[in-house]
Structure 1
Amino acid sequence: FPERLLVYHAGTGRTVFLGALKVTTIFIATFFCAVLGPTYFYAENEPPWVSITVILSGIIPMISVIYITSPFVTYIHLRLPPFVRNSHELLKRFTKTLPRDAQIDITTMNVLGKPRVARMKIQDLAAAHERFGLVNYERDTRAIDGKRRWWMGRAVRQFGVHGGKGSVVGGEAWKDIQAAIAKRAEKGVRVNTSP
């Protein structure tokens, strides 16, 4: 097995559709704000409020799409230690009893649809129900954001893992990770030690 083992994939069709939707709404908002808005503003037979309405009709869909799709998770990779990479049986045992320092890489999409990877320990994730159910996992990023430079932007805090499938060991690896997160939530244990 590779060092970064794919344990969850949201699906190529869904990922491509959401990436295209994000870029399309940005182009539409740009067209409405740069072309149509000024055209209606300088038109002699149109009142000024029409141009504001036109600009808002381009901006509101873009903001809605960005808000809805920002937590969407495309991939989750489990980082495997060297001793686990040689055997299915060892992999099953490893995922059933995940150590405290087990790490995952969660890939989301930025505003333009470009992949954005967040590496964290599994213990840093907690179950959540935010943004009308679009977010089902979150992590505390205050310590990470405090160390980041201002131009790097904030660390990804919310994740939406919906549908998709686990591709390793019949999907068992991702189910085991979900079970470990749920078990930690039941105990009320949540430690943030991410760098």
Structure 2
Amino acid sequence: MRLDQAAPKQDTISTLEAFADTIVPGEKRNPDDHAVAGAVSGPGAVAAGALELLQNPATGLAESLDDFADALNGHALALADRRAHSPAPGVPPFVALSFADRTALVTALTAPGHPERDLWVSLALFSNMAFDTGAHLHTVEAMAAGHPGLAAMGFAAPDPDGLWRFPEFSYGRPLARLHPDTAPSGSLA
């Protein structure tokens, strides 16, 4: 986030965390956690840093996070109204939804033909990316910190010097013979 950019409001933070938790669910951080539904055990997108990634200016979304949250909460209010549910007081409308209702709403928003689909798919992709790659972190640092997504996928740790080398072929065999002019560095001589 740029220094001159205002930090997101608490309602924005919890709404975006609830959205990310809908994409890659995780366990609650504490018993009073409303944003993370606790639909599964183990860490999910929120623990993996989804909010930090979304706040990164490189995503192109950072300046619009309050607008995303406001729109998502508007959709949540409409869903609650259609289902004759009263939103829980004290939490944003999307956060107040059950995990099943959050999932149904996100499914509808990301469905082909929805007029806002591209918006919500981009938010979902970054939420997933935070878990799958730790894109907001240097990979060596993410590995050292035990990044939950990289750990869950069994991402190989780097060599002690912080570089990845793969002395064995990942498919268990070479895919092609080396060109006769290949230098020890792997480049053509």
TM-score (norm 2): 0.22
- Identify the structure with bigger relative contact order (alpha carbons < 8 Å, sequence gap 6+): 1
TM-score (norm 1): 0.22
Task: Pick the structure with more strand per residue.
Answer: 1
Task: Pick the structure with more helix per residue.
Answer: 1
